[in-house]
Structure 1
Amino acid sequence: MLPVVFIALVLDLLAFTMILPLLPSLLDYYGNQDQDGLYSLLHSAVHGFRQLVGAPDTPRWNSVLFGGLIGSMFSFLQFLASPLMGAMSDVYGRRPVVLLSTIGVGISYVIWAVSHNFSLFVLSRIIGGISKGNVSISTAIVADISPPEKRGRGMAVIGIAFSVGFIIGPMIGAGFSVMNRNSVGFNSAPALFAIFLLSVDLLYIYCFLKETLPSERRMKSLGSGVKAAWPLISPLSLFKFEAVQNVPLQDLRRMQRVGGVYFLYLFFYSGLEFTLTFLTHNRFNYDSMKQGKMFFFIGIIMVIIQGGFVRRLKSGREISFSMKAMLTLIPAFLLVAFAQREIILYAGLSLFAFASAVVVPCLTTHISSYGTVEQKGAVLGIFRSLGALARALGPAAACTLYWSVGAEACYSIGAVCLFIPLFLLYRAGVKTE
């Protein structure tokens, strides 16, 4: 099943990531149309935020901030949906929930293809965010089929699928952007291609993905698994893993600490990732093409690391390796903060890529060892939900700091703050050997 999961994820992520380089032109298109009430409302919110943090009033940064708002909304919806879908897969099985998720994402692309106004486009993103539970279910499938000593290899394969998707998908989107450079009006071709990819993905999943959670090992009902929906959508309940019942108290405490570490790490990480476009444009005059090459460089390093070191990592070493990778992120932040030459910038980005390749797969592998077989979906859904919440909040916090105190102070503060998740991971009391 591991190659099946890998191919299904790559197809899904190609469709998902190809919109990223198209967002600025899409937002410009909607801004030049008769603006509906929703566009005006969000534009006012972005304008107020820009004034609050002191960002310059230029079309480029207004577009980046507007895109960041849309991205944060998508991540927040994933925060709400991931644990619910994970718990559903514990009751109804992995395969039907993956199919349901893929259909929902496909519907969002259909709406995107006909979204000649901004409200329809936002509706497509809302449906896509609510439906995007296939990644957490895929991690649960890997946990189902992999013995503990080989689970890290499976999580590394999921990480490689992400890296491949985030390398090739934006390049496809950039290709559509170049093709549409001289045309006028709305272009549905990228959305139609995304629909094609999702259709192939859906057919592939239907034909080749087998159920990995037998009926006798499932939760009897959604209520028996979580007792109520509230523990799956309340942030405080999610941090406490309240929906995971009947686990030893010591295991629950460790899950809570690792979940908190994961949230804090992605909070700081996503902030650097989002503000990096500001820094490279202001300091090195990077245009969209150069920034695309920069992220391609990061993606290639991630594929090499995940295909090499992470896949060969011995079981039980995930926490210690995560700590080492987080440590490399501290000099990465500082090198990027004070880089005045591109070689220094790329040295920092190399360390940034190493941490990107290691921390999330290793922490996911570790958290998948907790809970009973029928609880894996809920555990991994909650875990991924905490990451989505971090990605919803991190860019706004980092952007505020970046424009308020400058790049050097912003990344230096981020580097210092990374000692918090490192300390919590050390205090988790997990055996790392």
Structure 2
Amino acid sequence: MSRGRDERAAGSSRRALAFIVVLVLIDTLSFGLVIPVLPTLVMRLGNVPLSEASAIGGWLVMAFAIAQFLASPILGGLSDRHGRRPVLLLSSAGHAVAFLIAAFAPNLWVLLIGRVISGLTGASFSTAYAYIADVTPPERRAQNFGLVGVAFGLGFMLGPAMGGLLGSIDHRLPFIAAAAVSLVNFALGWFVLPESLRADLRRPFDLARSNPFAVFGRLKTLGGPLAVLASVHFLWWFAIQAQHSIWPYYTQYRFDWSPQEVGLSLGFVGLLSVLVNWFLVKRAVKAFGEARTLRFGLFMGASAMALYALADIPGILVAGILLGSLGGLAPSSLQALATSETAANAQGELQGALNALTSIAIVAGPPLYAQLFANSSGDAPFIRFPGLPFALAATLAGSAFLLSLKVKPRGGGGPREARPPALEALG
């Protein structure tokens, strides 16, 4: 009888995991749809050339990130109190509203409002990680976090490719499609997604613990592995903002790529991400352990950024994409290591804290990279080196790799050593 209950529980966890992976896929697809046409929309709304549009695009991303930084710890704490499902529903609804605003924005100020709304409700990825931690035993988390990477890769593969095609018809059409996809995500969550956080693991919401500016003090107090992992997480996310924020501008400037070509290149990135997360994450962690897999992924990511910086022909850029795909080994390994240091009823708080660090990286990164690109390209550059943003990104990713050397390796497939949950000790 006990065996039957265990089998039913395992089946329920598998279904819940499948639902959350589909939600992440749809969410990523909606964001990927608009990437190829965003430069065109900014240039037309602002009546500015490409180099200035890249700088404006950086400020738009910064507005999104500031809103997300302020809201993420609050949403993480609310998910620990009320469950993951309501927060995921709020995120999907917020994205739908934001994309509709962008689709019909008459000027850049209205577009900015849409980005702020999206940032305030944008907790889908951090809540998805908390959801997986709820339904997955520690020894399987790296593998299941890898499935989120698969979903992200699929969405990033299909979204930009579809967005490039739709954008060739009308540059606002991808935003309408993204809003529709977000509404599908909301419906899926409303009718299908079960709640993952058991009632006995919920805890009262504490506004003081959800103060985004308290993240730094809390992580400093934690010390040890979790503080190191949080620092690696921040440096990595700061580095990859170069690719996230200036890729369409950089490839259009260097190689005169059209929105369709930009979309296809990002689709190729997504395809490789799917392959790495589907086939390599589980095997790498089993063979080498989470810490070593993390280091390898960070090293490959840093190498890719260096190639992007030096790419003067598309072939070098493609080589960077191939190397960079192995950087996809890093996030799942890092998440598995961090969640193993955190109590079951504090996973939402952990993901809220990590998401706040991500938001800080997004606040600072895109404007910085956009300004570096604008001042190293264009008609009168300060320095003629359009790959400068990626050179900085390579330095940051390399720093994350060096810092990860402080993380103690654990056996690949063997049992973890028992450790007290670090985050719970602060409660």
Classify the TM-score, shorter chain: 0.7 to 0.9
Alpha-carbon distance in 2 for matches of 1:331, 1:174:
28
Alpha-carbon distance in 2 for matches of 1:419, 1:378:
28
Specify which of 385, 397, 415 is matched with residue 356 of structure 2.
Answer: 385
1:94 Cα deviation after fit? 1.2
DSSP 3-state at the match of 2:106: coil
The residue that corresponds to 1:320 in the other structure is 292
The residue that corresponds to 1:43 in the other structure is none
1:291 Cα deviation after fit? 2.7
DSSP 3-state at the match of 1:160: helix
C-alpha contact (below 8 Å) 1:239/1:260 kept by paired residues:
no
Alpha-carbon distance in 2 for matches of 1:29, 1:338:
30
Bigger shift: residues 71-80 or 144-153: 71-80
Specify which of 76, 81, 89 is matched with residue 71 of structure 2.
Answer: 81
> What's the % identity of the aligned pairs?
25
2:310 equivalent to 1:338: yes
What CA deviation, in whole Å up to 9, does each residue of 1:89-148 have, x standing for no partner? 001111122222222223323434543344332222211110011211111110000111
Number of corresponding residues: 388
C-alpha contact (below 8 Å) 2:149/2:277 kept by paired residues:
yes
TM-score by length of 1: 0.81
Alpha-carbon distance in 2 for matches of 1:179, 1:129:
28
C-alpha contact (below 8 Å) 2:239/2:393 kept by paired residues:
yes
The residue that corresponds to 1:138 in the other structure is 128
What CA deviation, in whole Å up to 9, does each residue of 1:130-185 have, x standing for no partner? 0011211111110000111111121111111111111212223223221127xxxx
Alpha-carbon distance in 2 for matches of 1:79, 1:148:
28
Alpha-carbon distance in 1 for matches of 2:332, 2:156:
16
C-alpha contact (below 8 Å) 1:6/1:161 kept by paired residues:
yes
The residue that corresponds to 1:10 in the other structure is 25
Specify which of 205, 210, 215 is matched with residue 222 of structure 1.
Answer: 205
For 1:339-418, list aligned pairs within 5 A: 339-355=311-327, 357-402=328-373, 403=376, 404-405=382-383, 406-407=385-386, 411-412=390-391, 414-418=393-397
DSSP 3-state at the match of 2:56: helix
1:329 Cα deviation after fit? 2.8
2:209 equivalent to 1:238: no
2:260 equivalent to 1:289: yes
What CA deviation, in whole Å up to 9, does each residue of 1:25-67 have, x standing for no partner? 32234235xxxxxxxxxxxxxxxxxxxxxxxxx7122222222
Where does structure 1 lack aligned partners over 5 or more consecutive residues? 33-57, 182-186, 244-248
Alpha-carbon distance in 1 for matches of 2:321, 2:359:
23
* 1:9 counterpart letter in structure 2: V
Alpha-carbon distance in 2 for matches of 1:410, 1:201:
34
DSSP 3-state at the match of 2:99: helix
Specify which of 85, 102, 110 is matched with residue 95 of structure 1.
Answer: 85
Alpha-carbon distance in 2 for matches of 1:222, 1:392:
26
Alpha-carbon distance in 2 for matches of 1:27, 1:313:
41
* 2:218 counterpart letter in structure 1: F
Alpha-carbon distance in 2 for matches of 1:66, 1:165:
25
1:410 Cα deviation after fit? 5.4
Alpha-carbon distance in 1 for matches of 2:184, 2:250:
39
Where does structure 2 lack aligned partners over 5 or more consecutive residues? 1-15, 377-381, 413-427
2:119 equivalent to 1:119: no
DSSP 3-state at the match of 2:283: coil
Specify which of 31, 35, 52 is matched with residue 20 of structure 1.
Answer: 35
Structure 1 residues 330 and 180 mapped into 2: Cα distance closer, same or farther (>3 Å)? closer
C-alpha contact (below 8 Å) 1:217/1:373 kept by paired residues:
yes
Structure 1 residues 277 and 190 mapped into 2: Cα distance closer, same or farther (>3 Å)? closer
* 2:114 counterpart letter in structure 1: S
TM-score by length of 2: 0.82
Alpha-carbon distance in 2 for matches of 1:344, 1:115:
37
2:408 equivalent to 1:424: no
Alpha-carbon distance in 1 for matches of 2:108, 2:249:
25
Structure 1 residues 109 and 66 mapped into 2: Cα distance closer, same or farther (>3 Å)? same
Alpha-carbon distance in 1 for matches of 2:177, 2:386:
38
1:277 Cα deviation after fit? 4.5
What CA deviation, in whole Å up to 9, does each residue of 1:399-423 have, x standing for no partner? 4445254246654554344332222
* 1:77 counterpart letter in structure 2: A
